[in-house]
């Protein structure tokens, strides 16, 4: 019998970053992190466990992916199969909803949607906590995309104790927005996985990062509890800068910044001087994301549109958590 499930998950952007693994197999992080889920980018995934298949296959936006591209998905499916005793291979049909083709496809939304679809296929009815643990095994940041709004990934120290939880914000999160600035980049990518490994293994700044991250998390949670936008923005911006600082102390050193990333960061500072409170963050790539209050999002957009073209700017609002969807294929068509 075939087992089919479908789910949608939205991407999240960390305000306090996850940067470094304590256990690479289980994906246990060195530090706890905190993110905001956003509505502009999401992944829908349908998974079919099918006794007729002789290997896993992975379609992304209708294109069959090669062996290398299927590896991460297959590894996740194997973890799932072992944990929930199902022997069939699966066909995974994923669609990334990203406003432009700008390299924003995210492993967070992708792996969270896959975890949700697998659980739905077997009618497991897992709790958000169990889904978060499962998604974490695919990609660390995916464990936070199970939740809408703010999520805290508590690092834990074992497979069972490392998962994300909702951070209550009494709907304040709905007053927040993020402007994505997609900058031009000519550099070769260092994936977040490789980048964080290199900094943990070699960066002389890594210990400093860890000490700071624990304090930053407390400050961020306090800012959320008090609905204090500038306090949250300030700690998010300095946390991102410290994370990026570790890459310069790695061997060999590297950076995710491009000249346009620096231009965008400087413009954020100019915006603040003009009285628009806004703060930047960056992940394992050159794009810059700007946290702003919804009431100021138009002003911020207008300011940036004088420096970047329309295709480079995407506004997002706070997004929801994992959604289980009705599969498109019929359940009884085996
Ligand atoms: C910089 O979750 O992509 O975006 O666990 O190896 O799959 P893996 O890494 P991933 O790393 C995300 C790193 C980051 C910060 C963050 O999202 O917290």
Tell me the mean pLDDT in the region 68-83.
Answer: 96
Q: Report how far ligand 1's centroid is from the alpha carbon of 19 (Å).
A: 7
pLDDT tens sequence across 174-230:
999 999 999 976 666 899 999 999 999 999 999 999 999 999 999 999 999 999 999
- Say whether 254 sits in a helix, a strand or coil: coil
> pLDDT (tens digit, 9 = 90+) per residue, 95-137?
999 765 455 667 899 999 999 999 999 999 999 999 999 999 9
CB-CB contact of 222 with 232 (8 Å) = no
Q: Is 299 touching ligand 1 by the criterion CB < 6 Å?
A: no
User: Residue 74 C-alpha to ligand 1 middle, in angstroms?
Assistant: 19
Backbone φ, ψ for residue 273 (5° rounding): -65, -25
Map out the domains of the chain as residue ranges. Answer: 3-169, 172-317
pLDDT tens digits along 248-291:
999 999 999 999 999 999 999 999 999 999 999 999 999 999 99
- Does the N-terminal peptide bond of residue 92 adopt cis geometry, omega within 30 degrees of 0? no
Per CATH, the number for 172-317 is: 3.30.70.890
Q: Name the pTM for this structure.
A: 0.96
Which of these CATH numbers, 2.60.40.10, 3.30.230.10, 1.10.10.10, 3.20.20.20, describes 3-169? 3.30.230.10
Q: pLDDT-derived band of residue 333, with 50, 70 and 90 as boundaries?
A: very low
Q: Which residues have C-beta within 8 Å of that of residue 222, sequence separation ≥ 6?
A: 228, 231
Measured from the CB, is residue 27 less than 6 Å from ligand 1?
A: yes
Dihedral angle of Cα 140, 144, 146, 150, to the nearest 10 degrees: -170
**Ligand 1 atom closest to 106 (CA):** 3
Q: Is residue 216 within 6 Å of ligand 1 at its C-beta?
A: no
Nearest-angstrom CA–CA distance, 317 and 210: 30
């Amino acid at each position: 019998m075939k087992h089919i499930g479908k789910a949608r998950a939205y991407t999240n952007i960390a305000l306090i970053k996850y940067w470094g693994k304590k256990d690479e197999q289980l994906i246990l992080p060195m530090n706890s992190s905190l993110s905001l889920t956003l509505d502009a980018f999401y992944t829908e995934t349908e998974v079919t466990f099918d006794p007729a298949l002789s290997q896993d296959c992975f379609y992304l936006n209708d294109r069959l992916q090669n062996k290398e591209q299927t590896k991460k998905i297959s590894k996740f499916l194997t973890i799932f199969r072992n944990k929930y005793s199902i022997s069939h291979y699966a066909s995974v049909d994923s669609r990334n909803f990203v406003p432009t083709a700008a390299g924003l496809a995210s492993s967070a939304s992708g792996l969270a949607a896959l975890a949700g679809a697998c659980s739905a296929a077997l009618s497991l009815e897992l709790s958000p906590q169990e889904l978060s643990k499962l998604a974490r095994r695919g990609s660390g940041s995916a464990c936070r995309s199970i939740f809408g709004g703010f999520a805290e990934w508590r690092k834990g120290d074992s497979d069972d104790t490392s998962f994300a939880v909702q951070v209550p914000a009494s709907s304040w999160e709905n007053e927040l927005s993020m402007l994505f600035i997609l900058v031009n980049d000519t550099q070769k990518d260092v994936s977040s996985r490789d980048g964080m490994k290199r900094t943990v293994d070699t960066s002389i700044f890594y210990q400093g990062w860890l000490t700071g991250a624990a304090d930053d998390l407390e400050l961020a949670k306090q800012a959320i509890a008090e609905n204090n936008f500038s306090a949250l923005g300030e700690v998010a911006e300095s946390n991102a800068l410290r994370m990026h600082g570790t890459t310069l102390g790695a061997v060999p050193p590297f950076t995710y910044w491009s000249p346009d990333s620096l231009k965008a960061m400087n413009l954020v500072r100019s915006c603040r001087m003009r009285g628009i409170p806004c703060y930047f963050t960056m992940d394992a790539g050159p794009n810059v994301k700007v946290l702003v209050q919804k009431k100021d999002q138009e002003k911020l957009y207008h300011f940036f549109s004088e420096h970047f073209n329309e295709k480079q700017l995407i506004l997002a609002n706070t997004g929801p958590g994992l959604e289980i969807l009705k599969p498109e294929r019929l359940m009884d068509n085996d």
